[in-house]
Structure 1
Amino acid sequence: MLCLALLVAAGFTGRQLLADGEKSDPIVVGSGAYPTSLDPAAAYDDGSWALYSNIYQGLLTFSAGSARPVPDAAERCGFAGQESKVYRCTLRTDLKFSNGDRLTTHDVRHSIERITRIEHAQGPAKLFDTLDTIRTRDQDIEFRLKTEDATFPFKLAGAAGSIVPSGSYPEDGLLRGDRAIGSGPFELADYRAKKHAELVPNDSYRGAQDKPSGPVEVRWFTEAGALKKAWEQREIDVNDGGLPPAELAELNPSDPDITLTEHSGTDIQMTVFNTREDSAAAERPVRQAIAAVLDRQRLARKVHVGTVEPLYSLIPQGMTGHGTPFFDRYPEPDTAAARKLLEKADITTPVDFDLAYSKGPTATREATEIKRQLEATKLFEVDVRGYEWDDFLKGLSKGSYDAYNLGWVADFPDPDTYTGSLVASGNATHNGYSSKEIDSLVAEVRRKPERDQTVADYRKIHERIAQQVPILPLWQAKDYVLTRPDIAGSQHLSDNSGVWRLWKLERL
């Protein structure tokens, strides 16, 4: 899903929440990735999906550290027969929404169908492009697919599979107001957009996840430096990676006042090119020339102070199918090679294009460094433009930019989330890119049920992407979480499944 690649923020004071009938101090979590909507039909960004995984429930989910979907609202699920064209689930019988209403198979069908019916520009409808019809009978649900799709269970297990009550979420319109109703581990007790969410344990939750030990308050920060200040002033208990790169690099894991969790992440940053005819990046040689001169090593070292790893494939390290196709084709920054590409295509230089990004101090430095590198070749002139996150997403969905820096977080632990979601026709980046060859290859590899045997297939696809360059991978993040010493569970907070496990946090 789309994400703010580097998160910065601003805080405010908290309050006590009720848990089990008594007052209890909530664990306060600071984050910069705020939700853009409370409606699963209208959001495909990491801030929204992180919250959804706590207040909504799907038929399936991912357990911590597992790459395979497991039943959550369902008792059991599986494909019917050898082909992956009919997927069936049996719903649990003891499920309720947080408002007390019974959760039924009608609600499940309603939830998925409204996503595809509304087809919101910033929603996840594209994930269900292989879905044909949904049938329900008593506790049974049957999904009939247009083509074989072994990744379909992964999509149901992500936030796009969030189940909402049919009586509160319209069939043809979006949720109004700030009262989200779900059946997940937490109930949303209070919500202020871009400010905070108060979460209390949902006593009615029945499913695969652990029940929360107590309330959690999430505070979102939208101003540079404010999350750092909130952490330093001990206003938050958990800092979910929102420190400037220079300060992350200086953290001391042996400091007794903090617990630092660090592991290789699968979040990536990329430059996306608008391939429509009216874009300055429409011609392939322009995109290839940019790929030929960009210095990722310098970007990671100078802007991010070594807190990220240069990336040469849209599939990050640690994921099936990872390779280095962009390094193989463009091994070192080479101005002469870039000039030759443009001259051969009779493209006048310097090529003038705009580069958009979501505002933030580090994001600004990153865009400025890319501009500096490209303009140093005398082959490009780059107009760098920063936008607020919401405005950035709107412009992106309209195809308003020639190029734009964009972060991506895995929807689920399978390479299709870095492939079909990013480079198939109608992809989530809204860059207008379409290739019959790529679409055919994506459809073919989706049919394969043994996902760990798809390495060669995905490398073949991404070799084609390195040649056509609709998207240019920049770097892969490392995950950092800071907690106070009396907070446990941060090592399970997130992984490459897209699930944000706030219920794993507990106060010692």
Structure 2
Amino acid sequence: MLKVGNVKNIFKILSIFLILLQLSCVQNKRRENIIVASAGKVESLDPAQANTLRTLQILSALGDTLYKINKQGNLSPNLAKDLPKVSKNGLLIDIPLKKNISFHDGSIFNAEAMKFSLNRFMKIGTLNYLLNDKIEDIEIKDEFLLRIKLKKPSSSIKSLLTSVNLTPVSPSSYSNFKDKFNNKGFIGTGPYFLKSFSATQQTIKPFKNYWGEKPLNQGIDFINYSNSSTLFGAIKTKEVDVLISNSIDDMQRVTLNRMVQNDKLRSGEGKAIEIGFITFKSNKSPLGNQRVREALSYTLDRQLISKQVSFGTREPLRSIVPPQLYKKEFSPWPIYKPNLARTLLKKEGYCEKDILSIPLTFRSNVPADKLLALTWKDQIKRDLSDCIKISLNGVESTTVYKQLSEGAFEAVILDWTGSYPDPEAYLTPLLSCTKINNNTCLKGEAVFSGSFWGNNKVQELLNKSEELEGENRLNTLVKVEELAAQGSSYLPVWLVKPKAWSLTDITQPEFSNNGLIILKNLKRN
């Protein structure tokens, strides 16, 4: 006969077993979705406002674009039925659309919906200059035929139509958001629909009426952590299934790569599309002097910085466009020559009595920024301490972006990823200027980039490139970069490949040509 104490012990054991069983069931249920982790909050899922890689990553799963760039680097129809048909004078573009495609709210995707979305972007889009500078009008020629009227011929418009920012939204669901952002929701045509949204977590589930290839998983939970250490710990302890490389400390990247080599993780890598650079404010002394900026362009030992900051994972870069977009190697910025830098600075009155003082701002929440700033400062102290003194200032990235156009920073470390795979997607945001006075940009994108550098010949060549195709166009854009290198208002540092790591029971992450993970191909083995 069982004693009362033994019975109590049995009940305790059974209770613990049931609790563990419940926890196991909850865990299994929770991991039905694939958990993807990245750094930083997602404040908005409106494609007209999206400007961070993590936001574009989610939008790429929730929406579709008219066209994609295929593995061969060519334009390929997506929501469009065929390639765009351009008139002989280059001013009319007809885009036939696929039929039987519906939005997540059940409404039909057609030319009217595409026109609504493009007009909305042109009116309120953060990057609306990309379209406003090119498009005169948008017409509906038929229910599934869209016509774009251009202000002038544009060879870049085709690549622009691959941008995630131009993914169509449902006119029915966005009727109250024609002239304002819809920050907390999204209704598109993509393989997933948005189930829940907060700044730190977003859940998407497969859209059962999706017109294309269905997702291989049952849904994605996006988790947004605040720092690199938390992200790193989450993948090591298997709290998350996939880790995206943005804002991961480079030392931790090395450890993750070592785990891949030891078959503890899988990894995938995309084409290098992110550039890292330093912007110099060129409209005020001392960096208003082009010769001083030119001297600084010789002071950066990219090989050393790549090795010390990223252990060689970030490729040294002497261009403000990823070289593969030119389809050839092109590096117009000078190599490291500290003696030449000293010679140039002496001609401007530095190095003997006066020392050039440069306050360098880095984004305090981007790990690589601080290491870059410290390494460059130490390198300058080693090579040119009699000529240059660098002081460091860490500022949170959102504050940096808000204050760039105010001219708040003499020199600031930044990065940029083009919204579509074309040289123009890098050159225009950094160099475009509509009002120039003595090489100072008074109005245009060069103001918003914080450089305030303007050059009339650059604008002339950018405009000319829009009338050209193929090799002639690329050669013209090469000339634009050569002039930018001479102006020395930017100092390119490195090129970054997008990377992701996954647990071994998840398929290897694949990347599209725009540097985003193809989320629908992720599968739990």
TM-score, normalised by the number of residues in structure 1: 0.85
CA distance in 1, matches of 2:348, 2:44: 42
Change (3 A) 1:500 1:248: closer
1:502 lines up with 2:506 in the alignment: no
Letter in 1 for 2:395: Y
Give the one of 20, 40, 52 matched to 2:47: 40
Q: Quote the residue 1:79 is aligned against.
A: 85
- Contact 2:269–2:511, Cα closer than 8 Å, also in 1: no
Q: Quote the residue 2:61 is aligned against.
A: 54
Paired positions, count: 480
Change (3 A) 1:484 1:179: same
CA distance in 2, matches of 1:239, 1:87: 40
Change (3 A) 1:102 1:264: closer
Report Cα offsets for 1:245-292 as digits up to 9, x if no partner: 2233353343122113346523210112233x3475333223212112
- Contact 1:313–1:326, Cα closer than 8 Å, also in 2: yes
Deviation at 1:215, TM superposition (A): 0.6
Q: Quote the residue 1:103 is aligned against.
A: 109
1:475 lines up with 2:483 in the alignment: no
The range that moved more, 35-44 or 427-436, is 427-436
1:493 lines up with 2:511 in the alignment: yes
Q: Quote the residue 2:280 is aligned against.
A: 273
Change (3 A) 1:101 1:325: same
CA distance in 2, matches of 1:234, 1:187: 26
CA distance in 2, matches of 1:384, 1:422: 24
Letter in 2 for 1:130: K
The range that moved more, 475-484 or 423-432, is 423-432
- Contact 1:131–1:143, Cα closer than 8 Å, also in 2: yes
What root-mean-square deviation, in Å, do the aligned CA atoms of Structure 1 and Structure 2 show?
3.0
Q: Quote the residue 2:14 is aligned against.
A: none
After TM superposition, list the pairs within 5 Å mapping 1:291-370 onto structure 2: 291-320=297-326, 322-327=329-334, 330-334=335-339, 335-340=341-346, 342-343=348-349, 349-370=355-376
CA distance in 2, matches of 1:69, 1:84: 18
- Contact 1:325–1:463, Cα closer than 8 Å, also in 2: yes
Letter in 1 for 2:158: P
Deviation at 1:210, TM superposition (A): 5.3
CA distance in 2, matches of 1:118, 1:142: 21
CA distance in 1, matches of 2:345, 2:479: 27
- Contact 2:91–2:153, Cα closer than 8 Å, also in 1: yes
Q: Identity of paired residues, percent?
A: 21
Give the one of 25, 30, 42 matched to 2:37: 30
- Contact 1:55–1:186, Cα closer than 8 Å, also in 2: yes
Deviation at 1:474, TM superposition (A): 0.2
Deviation at 1:83, TM superposition (A): 4.2
1:466 lines up with 2:485 in the alignment: yes
Report Cα offsets for 1:314-365 as digits up to 9, x if no partner: 12243315411113xx442334234135339x99642344424252333222
1:431 lines up with 2:451 in the alignment: yes
Q: Quote the residue 2:222 is aligned against.
A: 218
Report Cα offsets for 1:179-232 as digits up to 9, x if no partner: 221111111111111x1211111122225x654432111212222310001011
Deviation at 1:502, TM superposition (A): 0.9
CA distance in 1, matches of 2:347, 2:159: 40
SS in 2 for 1:506: coil
Deviation at 1:382, TM superposition (A): 3.5
Change (3 A) 1:33 1:153: farther
Deviation at 1:159, TM superposition (A): 1.4
Moved over 6 A (4+): 15-18
Change (3 A) 1:147 1:379: farther
Letter in 1 for 2:130: L
1:229 lines up with 2:233 in the alignment: yes
CA distance in 1, matches of 2:234, 2:402: 30
Give the one of 371, 374, 390 matched to 2:398: 390
- Contact 1:158–1:499, Cα closer than 8 Å, also in 2: no
Structure 1 residues without counterparts, runs of 5 or longer: 1-12
Change (3 A) 1:164 1:317: same
- Contact 1:60–1:69, Cα closer than 8 Å, also in 2: yes
Letter in 1 for 2:104: S
Greater relative contact order: 1 or 2 (C-alpha under 8 angstroms, separation 6 or more)? 1
CA distance in 2, matches of 1:174, 1:446: 31
Deviation at 1:45, TM superposition (A): 2.6
Change (3 A) 1:304 1:498: closer
Give the one of 282, 299, 309 matched to 2:288: 282
Change (3 A) 1:245 1:257: same
Q: Quote the residue 1:379 is aligned against.
A: 387
- Contact 1:130–1:147, Cα closer than 8 Å, also in 2: yes
Q: Quote the residue 2:144 is aligned against.
A: 139
SS in 2 for 1:281: coil
Give the one of 150, 153, 162 matched to 1:157: 162
Structure 2 residues without counterparts, runs of 5 or longer: 1-22, 434-443
Q: Quote the residue 1:166 is aligned against.
A: 171
Deviation at 1:430, TM superposition (A): 4.9
- Contact 1:260–1:483, Cα closer than 8 Å, also in 2: yes
